[in-house]
Structure 1
Amino acid sequence: MKIAYFSCSTIYGGVEKIIIETLNELCKDNEILLIVPRGCQYKNQLDSKVTIYEYKSYDKRYNPFLYAEIYKVLKDFSAQILHSHAAKATQIGFVISKFMDFKFIATKHNNRKGKIFNRVKNVICVSKAVANTVNHETKTLYFGIKNQAIKRDLPDIFTITAVGRLDLIKGFDQLIKSVQILDFPFILQIIGDGKEKENLQNLINELSLNDKVKLLGFRSDIAQILANSHLQVISSLKEGFPISLIEGIFYSHVLISTPVGGIVEILDSNFFIENNNFATKIEEIYQNYNDFKTKFAQTHSKFRQILTFENYILNLKNYYKEVK
């Protein structure tokens, strides 16, 4: 089967990780094309079997030259499926699909409005919460990961880890402000990169937290870092279904999160952070750590059987066969 993926993102984040891992698997028995803008930062992570096309036209959704360029690429490839990710690529793909004969599928990754998804027949949503933002029936597909054999080695000092791109929507600024009132020894490490890096570092400096809060940047060993942390925190203001949640289910001893998006479909309510009271919840876990650790493992063990990459790929392939 000839499958084309289309994304208008050049940066590397959760959505791009899904695209990379999915295509690296699909290319084993399908012909794959990935269409992305020039300057794609994650193209080197793709299997050599994946054909990458970096479009040259000005990256605006109403640019007719961009539509013409994408149309030609898809025609030359003889795409049987076009699968777009996020709103801009979906809007462009939707228009082009009216003039070409392929199955058009779009994935919605967040619970923002994204009215274009209401017009697309075949929509995959990353969680039920996201599905509720589309006005017709959709397919909910939870992403999954490949479980790694990790040796756990907790440090002496209470270690807290947060993972995500450095963006305001991730709430890292509020998390940093909150931990300054903790009255026990700790380290907070934040994994990820992004446009808020300088602002977050300035905040850390202003609060004199340089010895307690560390920005680790991009890391490829997230599973090991989570396994070597006492606690994982998701502080997001909004989410669709973050990969950091899945990683936490597999590797974290304890994970707490704001009750947003698809997280509430997986995480037990005892591990929610209510009203952004990060410090209160962290303190409660610190004081009762073994109890929380035991309960987290018992409550979420079933999801380690569900949120696997193998399940995701199988369900995705079946969906490709089903849709018209």
Structure 2
Amino acid sequence: MNSNKIKIIFVLPNLLPGGAERVFSYLAQNIDAKKFNATLLIMGYSKDASYKIENITTVFLEKPRVLNGIPALYQYIRKNKPNILVSAVGHLNTVTAYMSFMFPKTKFISREVTVLSLDESFFKTKKFDLLGFLSNRRFNSFDKIICQSQDMLDDIKNSYKVSEDKMIVINNPITDGFNLKNQIAINTPIQYITVGRLSREKGIDRILKILTKLNFPFHYTIIGDGVEKDNLFSLIDQYGLKDKITHINFTKDVAIYLSKSDFFLQGSYFEGFPNCLIESCAVGTPVIAFKAPGGTKEIIEDGINGFLVENEEHFLEKLTAQHKWDPIEVRESVYTKFNKNLILQQYEDLFLNILKQ
């Protein structure tokens, strides 16, 4: 190993299916190997890995939960002495924040994944949450905080009183394998798709409600799993949509399904930075999405690669609108802003600059 390389550890809770897991592991694998000696450290089990990791040292701590892995994480950092440690996902970021005091020679960076104050209020309970209490006070422990969208940065700044100098906005990249589709004509029946975690904030229930009002043939594919799965299937039965919906828990062929679809539908009440939207646009499939805090409005250019809507009535109106889409234009709208070379360079610049501080 070249001793002049910057030693950097990327830490994730697990490699289960998810946007944060896929993008973060992609960054770790594709960072410039001439400058960085990167390791991907996973708190969870190797048997749960949904993504193939190549050309990078990957270590699984084989722990059932992040909290169970704290001693092993501490020992790994102590033994390997990285120049930089980057963690992602809130509860793991809380752990690394408080661990940073033990390693003053290592730069600690967090990558946030949601508009946190909205996430907290959406899932708020009356019980005292110690982890939540500690989480809200973690930010100033980091040397830098990566926000996926400007809304996320503004939220941390205003809700948690963090200096803007401590934060930086770096959007997610379009990862490999999302190629421009060949078809231009709309399918019959029209094909809709949603990809994402089946949880309340994703708003799939309001998409189902809107679809009941359509008076033309359609098919809706939902790819994802989560705690709301049973509730959503109850709604599907209640609305009489069972014959018009296909559900897939997980697939590595997301790009193929996106290419075969006419529109991506997003019902989210808030987002961090929805990877599925840039991936849909990358293959040339436009998006219909609710205006919501987070990265959605940084991706969607109204009438160019999709529609941003205000409410359910507006959503229904756009579902029935006659609009000619150009798949090449849809694709270029995201590639100019989110191509992998651009985003990787932003990460590398951050890592190089933080060591100068």
The TM-score range, normalised by the shorter chain, is 0.7 to 0.9
1:89 aligns with 2:72: no
In structure 1, the residue matched to 2:342 is 311
RMSD: 2.5
Q: Does the 8 A contact of 1:43 with 1:52 survive in 2?
A: no
Q: Does the 8 A contact of 1:230 with 1:252 survive in 2?
A: no
Q: TM-score, normalised by structure 1?
A: 0.87
Which residue, out of 244, 251, 267, partners 2:300? 267
CA distance in 2, matches of 1:200, 1:179: 13
Q: Does the 8 A contact of 1:7 with 1:86 survive in 2?
A: yes
Q: What is the deviation of 1:127? A: 0.7
Q: Does the 8 A contact of 1:131 with 1:140 survive in 2?
A: yes
SS in 1 for 2:243: coil
Q: What is the deviation of 1:216? A: 2.3
Q: Do the aligned partners of residues 308 and 130 (structure 1) sit closer, same or farther apart at CA in structure 2, a change above 3 Å counting?
A: same
Q: Superposed, which structure 2 residues align to 1:137-216 within 5 Å?
A: 137=164, 138-145=167-174, 146=176, 148-153=178-183, 154-216=186-248
Q: What is the deviation of 1:187? A: 0.7
SS in 2 for 1:92: helix
Report sequence identity in percent.
Answer: 23
Query: Is there any run of 5+ residues in structure 1 with no aligned partner, and where?
Result: none
CA distance in 2, matches of 1:191, 1:233: 12
CA distance in 2, matches of 1:177, 1:225: 23
Which residue, out of 49, 53, 56, partners 2:56? 49
In structure 2, the residue matched to 1:73 is 76
In structure 1, the residue matched to 2:323 is 289
Q: Do the aligned partners of residues 314 and 147 (structure 1) sit closer, same or farther apart at CA in structure 2, a change above 3 Å counting?
A: farther
What amino acid is aligned across from residue 198 of structure 1 in structure 2? D
In structure 1, the residue matched to 2:316 is 280
Q: Superposed, which structure 2 residues align to 1:14-29 within 5 Å?
A: 14-26=19-31, 28-29=33-34
Q: What is the deviation of 1:248? A: 2.2
CA distance in 1, matches of 2:50, 2:208: 33
In structure 2, the residue matched to 1:223 is 255
Q: Which is worse superposed, 260-269 or 30-39? A: 30-39
CA distance in 2, matches of 1:251, 1:228: 10
Q: What is the deviation of 1:258? A: 1.1
CA distance in 2, matches of 1:199, 1:40: 29
CA distance in 2, matches of 1:302, 1:59: 38
In structure 2, the residue matched to 1:127 is 149
Q: Does the 8 A contact of 2:61 with 2:69 survive in 1?
A: no
Q: What is the deviation of 1:35? A: 3.1
CA distance in 1, matches of 2:282, 2:64: 41
Q: How many residues align?
A: 315
Q: TM-score, normalised by structure 2?
A: 0.80
CA distance in 1, matches of 2:207, 2:42: 36
